[in-house]
Amino acid sequence: MPCSDSSSSMVIYLDGKGFFKSFEYAKITCGREIEAGTGLNDYFAGKDPELIVTSNFNEIVKQLNVTAEDEQFVLYSEWDALRSAIALYLGLNLKEIDTDRCVISSIEQSDDQIEIVEIIMPPKEMPKILPCNLAQQNLN
């Protein structure tokens, strides 16, 4: 995940009634999926998107039993981006969520699904990220 460009894309799928189905989250520059089996898709499946926006990160960590620091980082990245993207889509203006970092690229709706595509810039409060080449050296 470490890279000097941490902008990403997100595709959110809602069912025909507007309830959360799933999301795809990937870095734009390398197209690498960020979701690493955190369980966030399953955790939110079938929920009202407004509940996702107001969800508590620490509660999700407990419910999903995510203990490793790197897994918590990935989970936080997904959760934060998903909340920001949904808040923008719903037109919510909440002090604790930075929707300015999101741009809706497209919204497609059919009878059974809504697909929301967004570009997401990194959060203002992001931990230091090493460039890919330095991160790989640290692994060796």
Its domain, for residue 38, covers 8-139
Structure tokens at 75: 């989970």
| Confidence (pLDDT) at 76 | 87
Q: What average pLDDT does range 72-90 have in this prediction? A: 90
| Identity of the amino acid at 112 | D
Would you mind telling me the total number of residues written for the chain in this entry? 140
Identify the sign of the CA torsion 116, 121, 123, 126: positive
Structurally, how many domains does the chain consist of? 1
Closest CA to 89 of 79, 103, 101, 110: 103
The DSSP bridge partners found for residue 107 are 116
| Confidence (pLDDT) at 48 | 97
pTM here is 0.79
| Confidence (pLDDT) at 126 | 52
**pLDDT higher than 90, residue 4:** no
